[in-house]
């Protein structure tokens, strides 16, 4: 009885590649965002000379490819840095996730965690975390690029 259902299900899928529906999926080719990708890349390119790039603030309607474009550029940038022997580090944080960005403390804790520092979920003064973050960044012999995706969500919550 169930064999027929399972056999039908495994043979007939409406999806060509279901993986493309996952939030973390990045296609090999991004269509119709060439101009935006080039702009992002040109702003971040100085990091390949270990120069501090300009800050970049992207905004626009949901679902237009901002996150996808930035993730694509920083992944390519990181590859280029690795092959060129540049000490570049990129930290991506999605501020829309409640466990990450409902307080300034949690954003800093997430950044410190990405840098290898264990931080308790609560209990330390926020300025202490900020100082730790600055110290670690200054001690490291590398250029750090932070991508704070959906930062407006955190600003709305934190104020």
Q: Determine the length of the chain.
A: 159
Whether domain 87-159 has CATH 2.40.110.10: no
pTM (predicted TM-score) = 0.80
Strand partners, 91: 146
Residue keyed to tokens 């990045």: 26
Percent of the chain at pLDDT > 90 equals: 51
17 vs 31: CA distance, rounded Å: 18
Tell me the two tokens of residue 7: 């056999």
Region 75-88 average pLDDT = 92
Ordered by start, the domain boundaries in the chain are 1-86, 87-159
Q: Where are the beta strands (DSSP E) in 40-141?
A: 88-94
The tens digit of pLDDT for each residue in 96-117 reads: 887 766 788 888 999 999 999 9
CATH topology match: 1-86 vs 87-159: yes
The CATH label, of 3.40.50.300, 3.30.1330.10, 3.40.50.360, 3.40.430.10, for the domain at 1-86 is 3.40.50.300
Dist CA 32 CA 30 (whole Å): 7
């Amino acid at each position: 009885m169930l064999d027929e259902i399972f056999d039908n299900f495994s043979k007939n899928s409406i999806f060509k590649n279901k993986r493309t529906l996952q939030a973390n999926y990045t296609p090999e080719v991004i269509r119709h965002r060439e101009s935006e990708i080039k702009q992002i890349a040109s702003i971040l390119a100085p990091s390949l000379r270990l120069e501090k790039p300009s800050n970049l603030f992207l905004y626009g309607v949901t679902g237009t490819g901002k996150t996808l474009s930035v993730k694509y550029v920083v992944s390519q940038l990181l590859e280029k840095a690795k092959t060129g022997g540049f000490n570049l580090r990129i930290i991506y944080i999605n501020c829309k996730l409640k466990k990450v960005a409902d307080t300034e403390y949690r954003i800093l804790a997430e950044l410190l965690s990405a840098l290898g520092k264990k931080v308790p979920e609560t209990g330390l003064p926020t300025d202490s975390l900020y100082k730790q973050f600055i110290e670690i960044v200054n001690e490291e012999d590398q250029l750090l690029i932070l991508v704070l995706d959906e930062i407006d969500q955190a600003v709305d919550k934190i104020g």
